[in-house]
Amino acid sequence: MRYAFAALVAFSLLTFGSVAQAEQRPYPGAPYTNAQVIDGFRRTVFGSEYYGLLNPAIVRKYDKRVLMYIDASRAPSRRQAVANFASSLPGLIPGLRLSVTTNRSHANFIVHLTPKRSFRSTATKVLKGGRPPATSQCLVVAEYNSSGIESSDAIVVTDRGQATFERCLREEILQGLGPLNDDATLRFSMFNDTSRLRRFRRFDRLIMAMLYDPLLRPGKSKASVEPLLPVLLRRAIRNISRR
């Protein structure tokens, strides 16, 4: 479940000029096309499950180093798994600068690890008095403006099985970096509440690489980004193939 302050839903389908172009695939044997990756980018980056009041849909990303603090006071045995995943991300997402810090006051991204019994109380604090849906097992809040994401808080439940833990920690951390929307049509993505995927696979890596390409500035509108999307995808394919 995603929450984002100052966000509005805005997404549409991409139309390509030819059938051949629409059927191009990012790598041999890929089960999805370039068009599907670009559509996934648009749906996750410019959509939001939270309807705010201030800004229309804009590019949301960190324009500075992400300093992540892991609050594992209620689940110390889970800390290392989160640290390992977070530390792997700069090697998987070209353009992302991220470090794990032990100093909470320096952090601009906090991951709260909590047992299910403490989820609602933790979420109420993070949401500043708001209440999460009763069925939630994880969520992320991102505060942002036209200059980029200022801070994120992810809450991950630790005692509902290994599969749920792994999916939650990956999805919420990645969404806290910018692609805040879930969409049930994205069958190859973790950014889909109906999916059982729990690994950071190439479809989502391409979306994240497009988002963190230096050509794409935070605060840009969907309309202004539209002409860049094929270029961003080509660059993402090239950059990921080198890693």
At a CB cut-off of 8 Å and minimum separation 6, what does 39 contact?
Answer: 13, 14
Give the per-residue pLDDT at 50. 54
In DSSP terms, 95 is beta-bridged to: none
Residue 166: Cβ-neighbour burial (10 angstroms; 0-12, 13-18, 19+): middle
Distance CA 16, CA 6 (A): 31
The total of other beta-carbon atoms located within 10 Å of residue 212's CB is 23
CATH number of the domain enclosing 123: 3.40.390.10
Give me the tens of pLDDT residue by residue for the chain, a chain 243 residues long.
555 544 322 222 333 344 455 689 999 999 999 999 999 999 999 976 554 434 558 999 999 999 999 999 999 999 999 999 999 999 999 999 999 999 999 999 999 999 999 999 999 999 887 877 766 789 999 999 999 999 999 999 999 999 999 999 999 999 999 999 989 999 999 999 888 888 999 999 999 999 999 999 999 999 999 999 999 999 999 999 876
Give the predicted TM-score (pTM) of the model: 0.88
Q: Which amino acid is at 22?
A: A
Number of domains in the chain: 1
Give the per-residue pLDDT at 243. 66
Q: Are 118 and 74 in contact (CB under 8 A)?
A: yes
Distance CA 207, CA 187 (A): 14
Give the per-residue pLDDT at 20. 53
Give the per-residue pLDDT at 194. 84
- Residue among 216, 185, 187, 230 at smallest CA distance from 22: 230
Give the per-residue pLDDT at 131. 78
Give the per-residue pLDDT at 70. 99
Give the per-residue pLDDT at 137. 80
Domain ranges, residue 40: 2-241
